[in-house]
Amino acid sequence: MKRLVYPMMLMSFCFFFVACNKENKTQYGITQQNIYNSAHEKTKLKTDQQFISILYSNLFQKNISQAKANAVEQLVRSIGDKTLAYELVVSDFMNSPDILIPDPATMRADIPTFVDNTYSRFYLRQPSEAERQYFINFIETNPNITPELIYISFATSDEYFYY
């Protein structure tokens, strides 16, 4: 009987020490985004995947699912004209009811802040004084301009294709 007790105790201790490992916790952090001083600092063309992911984040303020990103990327690759493909993606995203865009009354209540926020949201930089004044004047003198139209123009601009 003693012969069985010692090996069983030894095996029990081995299992106990192997099973009682401390669990490593994974922590995720938020990476600070660099703010550009001007459009001239952006020299790298976004890949299709980067464009889709960043556009979705800018318009919906959340991450795109992997399945949706793959489907949209496949669509972009299936169309020969990349600019046209990107415009179709922007149009599709803009027609979603889940999009987060300020309403026209909010935009017109504080146009300078809207312009600054839009530049920061899409271009990761603040507008120059000339850019800010141009958009302020443009919005003030065109009552039919909506935030959707401004967002479409930013999302389909040449600068938005680069980082």
Per-residue pLDDT of the chain (163 residues; tens, 9 = 90+): 555 555 566 566 555 555 555 555 555 555 666 555 555 566 678 888 998 999 999 999 999 999 999 999 998 888 888 889 999 999 999 999 999 999 999 999 999 999 999 999 999 999 999 999 999 999 999 999 999 999 999 999 989 888 7
Q: End-to-end distance of the chain based on CA atoms, in angstroms?
A: 74
Q: Is residue 98 part of a domain?
A: yes
Q: Is residue 149 part of a domain?
A: yes
The predicted model scores a pTM of 0.69
Residue 125, helix vs strand vs coil: strand
Q: Is residue 133 part of a domain?
A: yes
13 vs 74: CA distance, rounded Å: 55
Distances (CA, A) of 156 to 26, 63, 142: 37, 20, 20
Q: What is the CATH number of the domain that holds 43?
A: 1.10.3130
Q: Is residue 112 part of a domain?
A: yes
Q: Is residue 59 part of a domain?
A: yes
99 burial class (0-12, 13-18, 19+ CB within 10 angstroms)?
middle
Q: What are phi and psi of 98, to 5 degrees?
A: -90, 0
Q: Is residue 68 part of a domain?
A: yes
Structurally, the chain folds into a number of domains equal to 1
Q: What is the DSSP-derived secondary structure letter of residue 98?
A: T
Q: Which residue segment(s) compose the domain that 80 sits in? A: 39-161
Q: What are phi and psi of 52, to 5 degrees?
A: -65, -45
